[in-house]
Structure formats: structure tokens, C-alpha cells
Chain A
């Protein structure tokens, strides 16, 4: 049984289908990159996997005892109100709440982990700053640090590189690869097809129908992969 199995899934809003016939599975340790044009249903797919919305039909099943409390998530957009008072530290710490069980307060371990994650993403100097007063790219890194705190077994990232400068983007891809190598399963939505081709182990190309699902090596060689910009030396 795979970590995540998606069978004949149709996605949509109020009966209007966005994508259909999605079937794929993700094994422990995989690095799946989801690509596709704007509006093809990538975010919708991720929300359905996270049970934030119901599929029109089909099913999403988790295996190997994967619990939501072991999943980290970086949303594409977070509707935080303009004037929400929250420090970077508070936001990052809140990621690890799913590990708290019945403990009402954060443990030393959770606090140290939050600190480490802030350090990894270079936002430790911002720890006491107000989240809403940061730049877009800084906010993105804060939310990524929060997601890392929540992710024990699986990390879902919806366009993590959006708004990051080239250096930070590169660092982030390296970090994600490290995490993947240390056993974390990654699902990442990205428009950066080159990064996808470089780092992912599997690729899902979503369109109204899934145009491709398979290993990175096969995708790069496929017609669709070539058309989509994988002009990689074959």
C-alpha cells in the first residue's frame, strides 16, 4: 500500500469539473512534482488531498498509517487579515501544534525545532517581527518554516518558490532535496519545470485530464515534457 493513493479522482467546484480521471500513487520517499498551466487544477488537487474540499468523484486514500498530523502544508495563498498581530515566531511555532497532543503548551523540543527551521530559512533575525510587516518573499519563508514544523512524513508545497529571489530559491530547492533525502515525502506544485526535471523523482502533469504521470526520466523524454519546455539534452 502506497503512502498516498489517488483513484479516478475528479475535482471541481459546485459541480463544475476542473480536472478528472486522476490516478496515481505516491510512495514513501518519493518527490512528486505537479506541473501544469494556470487554472489546470493543481491547487484544487492539493486541497482535495488535504481533505480541505470534497472530490466530485473518486477517492484519495492514505496508507502506511499516514495521519494528517504528520503532514506539512505550504498554501499558495494565505488569507491573513491585513492587521493580524502575529510575530514570526508565533506563526512558525503554530506549525508544530499538530504534534502537541493534549499538551496545552509548546515543549522545549518544539521550540528548538522552530528555531532550527527559522535558521535554515534565514529568518531567525526576523523572529520577533510582525508577520504582516514582512515582504512577500519573507512571508513565504515564514510559512515554509511553519510547514516544516508540521511535516513529519509528508510535505505538500504549493508553488514554494513564488516570490523568492534566485539565491533563496536555489537554497530552498536544496533544502527540500535534503529533506527528501532524509526520508520526507514531497509533493510540490511548481511552474519551474527545470527545477522539477532536476530534483523530482516523479512528475504529474495536470490538465483537464492528467496528461502525464510517471518518473521524471520518462517525462523529460515524453512529447508533452518536451513541449512544456524540458529541452534537456536527451
Chain B
């Protein structure tokens, strides 16, 4: 135990390890907030589709040899998010099948691009693996990425707090909100843009295949136990932060891949909360 502590202490001497922990926690916080909205709007699969779009965009950025790949990934993902979430519940054409097609299509094209135009240092499978499952080591985050992630996470959290009640209204009953003169189109648009931002950010942390877990697990876990919107949001956020911190620390100590370890922590959280929910259900409130 003390060995572990000593090792952690050693690692946390490095500023970039500390930064990575902060960024990871912030991203987990953002994705849990938006995850509640996605799950309740029955849009879980859109988060999945978007993450694959982000992978395709990253492949394009790599091919074009754009060093700051966020410049490509962010706008492309936002574009698709707006397209997919536009019109909210009224959207008819964007059925499950269309999103699945987009999702696997982006994945396939991205992989082809990676193979046709291998990155300069030439390690295709390593690069693809990193993109799909997250950086094998959190230490690969550059200083710029750290700052960008921190700023974007801050913006996401602030937007969520400012629009919290509107988000509730369009999630609970979009028709009522629209009928009583609220700008549901605008709120849906903001939700779409923010979700895209979170997906693009989270790709750094857990990779594009595992983003959905970051979005969905905390929300579902919280809903097992809590019965009001506010308590679910707060619980999901707290749970996600704890799981991310735990996952990052364990991954440092055990040398496991960061993204998958965080997701494993989220799965554990889900089981714990399911048990809590069942126990709570048995006791008459």
C-alpha cells in the first residue's frame, strides 16, 4: 500500500500527470452532464454515432497532416451533431438505421484513410488503437491539448448550469415548451453543439469506441437510485468524477490503459448503484 502511495506521489511530481488527472476529471464531468440529457432524450445511440464520426474526422486530420487535429475534429463533429439532433423529437428521417450507417461508415472510411496514408512515423495499428481506445498513456497529452480541454470543459459546465432549467424543459416535454413560447430549436442546437464538443474532447481520454460509456453509465447508474432531475444530474456528475479519478489512478499503478480502466470503474459503479436501487426499492420510502 505504502509502495503504491509512494509511486503515486512520484508520478504526481510531474505536472503533466497532474494536468492529465484534472483534464480527465473535467471531461468525465462534462460527459456525465450531457449523458443525462442524451439518455433521457432517448438519444444514446447518437452519442455513439458521433464518436465514430469524430474518429473519421481524426483520420482525415491525420491524412492532411494537421498537427492540431482538434481544428478538424471539433467542427466536423459539431456539424454532424447539429444534423442529427436538429428538430429534436420531430426528426423523422434520421432513424436508427441512418445513424448506424453513418456510424460504421465513418469508422470504415477512417480506417481506410489511416491505411492508405499512414502517419509519418508509420505505426498504423498503434495509431488506430490509440484513437479507438484512448491514449495508452495519459502522458501523451500535449500542453496545448491540456489547456484546450480545460477551457472547453469550463465552457460546457457553465453553459449547462446557465441552461439547466431549459434543458430540463426540452428534455421532459418538448411540445409543451414549444407551445408556451420557448425557443426549443435554439436549446436543441446548444445541446447538439455541446454534445459534439464533449465527444471530441472525450476521444482524447477514452478513445472513440469508449465515449458512449462515459456518457451513458453515470446517468443510468444515477437513475437507478434517484428520482428527481436535479439529484440525478448531481449524482451522475459526482459518480463520473469519482470513477474517472479512480480509473486514472488505478491505470497509473497497474499500468492498464487509461480509457478502459475508467470505463471499468463506471461499470463497477453501475453495479453498485443497481444494488443500491434495488435495496432502496424494497424499503418503503
Is there contact, CB below 8 Å, between B161 and A85?
Answer: no
Which of A2-10, A23-31, A96-104, A193-201 participates in binding chain B? A96-104
B180-196 interface mask toward A, CB cutoff 8 Å, 1 = contact, 0 = none? 11100000000000000
A interface list, Cβ under 8 A from B: 50-52, 67-73, 75, 78, 80-81, 83-87, 90-91, 93-95, 97-98, 100, 104-106, 128-130, 133, 146, 150, 156
Closest 9 CB pairs of A and B: A68-B181, A69-B181, A130-B227, A87-B228, A50-B179, A150-B180, A104-B162, A73-B179, A85-B232
Closest residue of chain A to B173 (Cβ to Cβ) is A78
Asked if B166 is an interface residue, CB under 8 A from chain A, the answer is yes
Is there contact, CB below 8 Å, between B165 and A106?
Answer: yes
B132-170 interface mask toward A, CB cutoff 8 Å, 1 = contact, 0 = none? 000000000000000000000000000001111110110
List the B side residues contacting A133 at CB < 8 Å.
Answer: 227
List the B side residues contacting A129 at CB < 8 Å.
Answer: 227
Docked pose: A100 CA to B177 CA in angstroms: 13
Q: Min CB distance, A55 to chain B, in Å?
A: 15
List the B side residues contacting A52 at CB < 8 Å.
Answer: 175, 178-179
Closest residue of chain B to A104 (Cβ to Cβ) is B162
B: number of interface residues (CB 8 Å): 28
Is there contact, CB below 8 Å, between A94 and B165?
Answer: yes
Q: Can you list 21 A-B contacts (CB < 8 A)?
A: A52-B179, A71-B179, A72-B180, A80-B172, A83-B223, A84-B40, A85-B223, A85-B227, A85-B232, A87-B229, A90-B168, A90-B230, A94-B177, A95-B180, A97-B177, A97-B182, A98-B180, A104-B161, A106-B165, A129-B227, A133-B227
Closest residue of chain B to A85 (Cβ to Cβ) is B232
Asked if B226 is an interface residue, CB under 8 A from chain A, the answer is yes
Q: Min CB distance, B157 to chain A, in Å?
A: 13
- The interface residues of chain B, by DSSP majority, are classed as helix
B interface list, Cβ under 8 A from A: 40, 42, 161-166, 168-169, 172-173, 175-182, 223, 226-232
List the A side residues contacting B161 at CB < 8 Å.
Answer: 104
Closest residue of chain B to A149 (Cβ to Cβ) is B180
Tell me how many residue pairs across A and B have CB atoms closer than 8 Å. 94
Is there contact, CB below 8 Å, between A73 and B229?
Answer: no
Q: Min CB distance, A117 to chain B, in Å?
A: 14
Say which residue of A83, A86, A106, A146 sits within 8 Å of B228 (CB atoms): A86
Is there contact, CB below 8 Å, between B227 and A71?
Answer: no
Given contacts A81-B42, A83-B223, A87-B229, contact A71 B165 (CB under 8 A): no
Given contacts A97-B166, A130-B228, contact A73 B176 (CB under 8 A): yes
Closest residue of chain A to B219 (Cβ to Cβ) is A85
Is there contact, CB below 8 Å, between B180 and A86?
Answer: no
List the A side residues contacting B232 at CB < 8 Å.
Answer: 85
Closest residue of chain B to A68 (Cβ to Cβ) is B181
List the A side residues contacting B177 at CB < 8 Å.
Answer: 94, 97
Q: Min CB distance, B27 to chain A, in Å?
A: 24
List the A side residues contacting B164 at CB < 8 Å.
Answer: 104
List the A side residues contacting B230 at CB < 8 Å.
Answer: 87, 90
List the B side residues contacting A130 at CB < 8 Å.
Answer: 227-228
Given contacts A71-B181, A73-B180, contact A100 B227 (CB under 8 A): no
Is there contact, CB below 8 Å, between A68 and B179?
Answer: yes
List the A side residues contacting B223 at CB < 8 Å.
Answer: 83, 85
Q: Assuming A70-B181, A94-B177, what are 18 further A-B pairs, CB within 8 angstroms?
A: A68-B179, A73-B176, A75-B179, A78-B176, A81-B40, A84-B172, A85-B223, A85-B226, A85-B228, A86-B229, A87-B228, A87-B229, A90-B229, A97-B182, A104-B164, A106-B165, A128-B228, A130-B227
Is there contact, CB below 8 Å, between A67 and B172?
Answer: no
Docked pose: A166 CA to B228 CA in angstroms: 30
List the B side residues contacting A94 at CB < 8 Å.
Answer: 165, 168-169, 172-173, 176-177
Is there contact, CB below 8 Å, between A75 and B175?
Answer: yes
Docked pose: A15 CA to B227 CA in angstroms: 42
Docked pose: A130 CA to B172 CA in angstroms: 13
Q: Min CB distance, A138 to chain B, in Å?
A: 15
Is there contact, CB below 8 Å, between A104 and B181?
Answer: no
List the A side residues contacting B166 at CB < 8 Å.
Answer: 97
Q: Min CB distance, B243 to chain A, in Å?
A: 20
Given contacts A71-B179, A85-B232, contact A80 B227 (CB under 8 A): no
Most buried by A among B40, B176, B181: B176
Docked pose: A69 CA to B232 CA in angstroms: 29
Is there contact, CB below 8 Å, between A104 and B165?
Answer: yes
Say which residue of B42, B168, B169, B180 sits within 8 Å of A69 (CB atoms): B180
Docked pose: A95 CA to B168 CA in angstroms: 11
